[in-house]
Amino acid sequence: MSDRELRPLRSIRITGDGRCLFRSVAYGACLRSGKQSPSESLQKELADDLRAQVADEFVKRRGDTEWFLEGDFESYVSQMRNPYVWGGEPELLMCSHVLRMPITVYIHTNSSDSPRIVAEYGQEYGKDNPICVLYDGYGHYNALQSSLETRVDNRRMRYLSLFYRTAAQV
């Protein structure tokens, strides 16, 4: 068991609207980049933008990707451009290339209380601080946030709150 599997993670509930994979990855990319957690509407916007870039990435990498996509390549990419179409492993791989960031997928198992790593993408972009998503095993993805990030976010919010209160008093 690696240290990465031992770090505490908190699941962030993501809306199940066909964009959950892209919403989860976009959420994680924001956290990884040091930005605040995106709102529901920003998640949707980021997810749709990421989806479009992923479809373009499939086309760009057609020679490397066509063989592992189900059915006709053109039809697959055309379908993937629709916001309600679910994404899976091929889209996670393309997300890692678009974002140039590693992505780690976790799943809960019956043998453990904490989620386990089931897939890693984009290792060529580094192995530290990957975007983490939780797959439920039935077609839905949630974002995962490490407890350290949660503490940093909470400290940042307390600091900003204190800063604005102090500035208002001056």
Catalytic residues: 17, 20, 140
Among 168, 134, 156, which residue's Cα sits nearest to residue 23?
A: 134
Out of 3.30.1360.120, 3.90.70.80, 3.40.50.11540, 3.90.870.10, the CATH code matching 8-169 is: 3.90.70.80
Compare 146 and 136 and report the one with higher pLDDT.
136
Residue 164 has pLDDT above 80, yes or no: no
pLDDT at 143: 97
Q: Between β-strands 116-121 and 103-107, what pairing exists: parallel, antiparallel or unpaired?
A: antiparallel
What are the distances in angstroms from CA 21 to CA 17, 78, 81, 88, 140?
Answer: 10, 17, 13, 7, 7
pLDDT band at 151 (very low <50, low <70, confident <90, very high): very low
- Domain boundaries, given as residue ranges, for the chain: 8-169
